Chain A
């Protein structure tokens, strides 16, 4: 309610005596109302201080006085019976107003007056009477219920009917001014509608329809000024102002950073070094111990001036008066100034960077285990260099082919030579069939591929293998073929020999397909169209997939999962799709002469080794260029190999070492392979400038076999 009251217009017109204007402050009225509330219930009225209401006017302007005078007269005429009282009060009445300002009236509780008038006389509080008077008044005064006390003056005020009406309206949450005049119809005198009858009947001026001469002159002046550049269009002026205005929003964000030269100099200022304060030695009357004795003095004299600890001799004077002028004063001052002037003091701009931090983090070798670390076994038995080795798919046996024209089968776990096959020529290449269900070993002897059943593994597998080989029936088409397939007679078959595939030229390389039915051979300098041959074992067929291979084919390899075929020439690797019979991709090796190739078991990565001692890792998804080129071997690489299960790959080189690296291929396409070299394995001796000739991983264990020119095979575990 209070807030509503404060919102009410402060002008209240008293309806009964329309001339009177009550100008109330919101606050005052508030208080009045609160008091009023106390009295509203009482039905008694009292009109004794009715007139005093008028004196509520706070303004002491002359106009108010005029009103007051009018009030007086009007009230005089209204209620004559109260006149004598009023006359008594007249001097008071004149002064009864708030002279104490806006302070709590309680402060005057202990005084008999409230404030002072212009002459400095105390304005006495009106008589209030005691509780008995109050009671009597309550009984007698018909206006008692509408009498309130003005807190600011301490006077009693009798509220008029209009006041009460206003209060009642406020209490009823209505507009305090009454709702009669609120919704009167609005007369729109100044509407936009053109009336039929003009307000004036004056004819329009001539100037309203003739172009203004003065305007024309003014425009001419402005055009001239614009032409001359004295005046500028508004947009340009704004731009200029913006450019000049320091408070305008700056578009150059980095403007602040360009530090002015002068502040830079202040900021970078290095104060001149202070001269050390004089010590006891400099005193005119130094303690005895500071004085030089004869020996020290002689030494001082001997020394060069710049070597001396002090550039003066401490001297003792009996009094300050006897101290002579300091002889070196000018010299010292000059040298100091010279020092300040010439010896530039400079801040050294130096970054504190630990060089270790700049090296990228390598994973700890311990986390990359297992990988082969030590030599575990040496397989001895060959008498000449071992050209090629191959473990069987289960990892129990190892086959090796040597220049002593034998092929040997070894037991991996003990190093026992289980069987030896004598050949006619040097065995240049051996390969165990990767399919565990087919127990066959292929050996390249000169220009022949000889398929052998070593008969070591499960008897059932051996016999099944033989059965499938025997089931073949010759359809007589082999006459067209570029190679000759032939079987061995019974005696040879007992030894284990099964099939011979005779080529026309020496065979450089042999490789099995993962399923074990197909194999590919590379012929040396052969008829170009027959450089690469793909053979099918079950049908004993041979085909030459390339009519003209581009370049000299070095190595070929089958993709482990898809029908792709890798052909490595001297500097490129071409990947052919065997089903679609087209070139799938061409990789560019940044090396001169590719010597070996191996395909990751996942099929998306390829490593190649080259005779210029490089190893290149290709990520086929990434690019046709090497993902990484490693050049850690000192001499030509002979063989590279991936492990079937562990994230390992290895390279064998003529420098006598096999380097094993961790090469993790992530299944996440976003992560590039992690390649860390973990171990250099040495053991083979160099013979005929050759050292390690072949290396192959054990199919299940993190072990690697290597064969060397020193006619041994070594196993690293």
Chain B
């Protein structure tokens, strides 16, 4: 055992939150230069003691809230942890890589994408919306906008007829249209148009109960619209509009905003609901602002150093992800106003980020460098997986359907990646 005297060893305890993989709570003496792969072997051998080896399960190791990606001693050095004490190592089952499933071709750039249950909605630069079923069938192509569509969002159907699904789309023609998809007739109705913005409607978000819509626009304004009891203004539509909507056979009513919030000094790039009454907006003026919608006032402002392109809020972890003009994804905690960590791996501008709806640690980001990346918040230096597929700039990513990661980009394709959930999640 001469070598053991030379190689520095550390005391480590292993634990897991997945009970099926738990091992006895004994401290192990392991070499300091050990890597994740060797740790895996240890766990594997302990788990399969006296058993016949079944399928190999790979684990990831968490030490002080961060994944072990290098050797143990360098990791400890970076985290500034003494190697004298017993180190607690948590291990979780490694996620399988998402599988590329299908690629849905469009006629023009895909600017926005949202999934909901079994439907996928895309907005394109050719002024149309495309509705896809989950298995890749094009249900319909909706034209109605006069300029490229910039954002789409589903309105959660609460209780009502499940066959009819509502959604909204914002466009550079300064309008937000509310649509209804009638499953039975396989047809789309334009319910009404929301007019009031003086710039392209770049982002929209719907409240969880589906009663309120908030939009952000290039004209620096944030507007709140009512879905249920808004003021409807019957309006004589222009000829062109009627021509477009001839299929529906009736004129479209127009709605005006309930509230207009001004405060941003530059274009509003992204908006998200934090809870039933507060929203968070991001802007090119380097700020994130939190607004109380019941009083229509700004309650908080977070200053960044770069223009924000996209934000995403996770109700699970209560954290905000932001993509800004400098190739980093940042994690903000609005409660403490601090920036928790920075995720750096993209080589191009990041256009869009989205949280996993079921796992509080996972999120995806899409960038102009043609890559979609799957991240774990506990691994800031390297993403879990690079999802390659897109051949041009990615403009939008979405993870609304927990099993599907969607990305749309400038190569006119919508890429779907299938992400197998863990057994626990199922």
A residues near B (Cβ < 8 Å) are: 369-370, 373-374, 376-377, 394-396, 413-416, 418, 456-460, 700-701, 703, 717
Q: Are B325 and A458 in contact (CB under 8 A)?
A: no
The B interface, classified by DSSP as helix, strand, loop or mixed, is loop
> What 1/0 flags go to B161-183 for Cβ under 8 Å of A?
00000000000111000000000
- Beyond the given A396-B218, A414-B351, please list 16 additional residue pairs across the A-B interface where CB-CB is below 8 A: A369-B305, A376-B325, A376-B349, A376-B368, A377-B368, A395-B266, A396-B267, A414-B109, A414-B395, A414-B410, A415-B393, A416-B109, A458-B174, A458-B198, A701-B266, A717-B306
| Residues of chain B with a CB closer than 8 A to A416's CB | 109, 125, 148, 410
From B198, B218, B284, B368, contact of A460 by CB (8 A): B198
| Residues of chain A with a CB closer than 8 A to B200's CB | 396
| Residues of chain B with a CB closer than 8 A to A395's CB | 266-267, 284
From A394, A396, A414, A701, contact of B325 by CB (8 A): A701
Q: Does B333 contact A (CB under 8 A)?
A: no
Contact A413 to B410, CB < 8 A, known contacts A458-B199, A717-B326: no
Contact A415 to B410, CB < 8 A, known contacts A396-B267, A700-B266: yes
Listed from nearest, the 10 A-B pairs whose CB atoms lie closest are: A717-B325, A458-B198, A376-B349, A701-B307, A700-B266, A396-B218, A414-B395, A458-B199, A416-B125, A416-B109
Q: Are B348 and A413 in contact (CB under 8 A)?
A: no
Q: Does B282 contact A (CB under 8 A)?
A: no
Please give the distance in Å from B176's CB to the nearest CB on chain A: 15
Please give the distance in Å from A397's CB to the nearest CB on chain B: 10
- 6 pairs of residues in contact across A and B, judged by CB atoms under 8 Å: A373-B326, A396-B218, A413-B309, A414-B393, A700-B266, A717-B326
From B199, B309, B325, B349, contact of A457 by CB (8 A): B199
From A374, A394, A458, contact of B327 by CB (8 A): A374
Q: Does B111 contact A (CB under 8 A)?
A: yes
Q: Does B360 contact A (CB under 8 A)?
A: no
B residues near A (Cβ < 8 Å) are: 109, 111, 125, 148, 172-174, 198-200, 218-219, 266-267, 284-285, 305-307, 309, 325-327, 348-349, 351, 368, 393, 395, 410
| Residues of chain A with a CB closer than 8 A to B327's CB | 374
User: Please, which residue of chain A has its CB at the minimum distance from the CB of B368?
Assistant: A377
User: Please, which residue of chain A has its CB at the minimum distance from the CB of B146?
Assistant: A459
From A369, A394, A415, contact of B218 by CB (8 A): A394
Bound-complex Cα distance A397 to B364 (A): 28
Please give the distance in Å from B235's CB to the nearest CB on chain A: 15
User: Please, which residue of chain B has its CB at the minimum distance from the CB of A378?
Assistant: B368
Bound-complex Cα distance A660 to B325 (A): 18
From A370, A377, A413, A459, contact of B305 by CB (8 A): A370
Bound-complex Cα distance A401 to B108 (A): 24
Bound-complex Cα distance A429 to B395 (A): 31
Please give the distance in Å from B309's CB to the nearest CB on chain A: 7
User: Please, which residue of chain B has its CB at the minimum distance from the CB of A455?
Assistant: B147
Bound-complex Cα distance A415 to B109 (A): 11
User: Please, which residue of chain A has its CB at the minimum distance from the CB of B173?
Assistant: A459
| Residues of chain A with a CB closer than 8 A to B125's CB | 416
| Residues of chain B with a CB closer than 8 A to A700's CB | 266, 284-285
Q: Are B307 and A377 in contact (CB under 8 A)?
A: no
Please give the distance in Å from A341's CB to the nearest CB on chain B: 64
| Residues of chain B with a CB closer than 8 A to A377's CB | 349, 368
Bound-complex Cα distance A717 to B327 (A): 10
| Residues of chain B with a CB closer than 8 A to A413's CB | 309
Q: Are A717 and B198 in contact (CB under 8 A)?
A: no
| Residues of chain A with a CB closer than 8 A to B266's CB | 395, 700-701
Bound-complex Cα distance A523 to B327 (A): 44
Bound-complex Cα distance A370 to B109 (A): 31
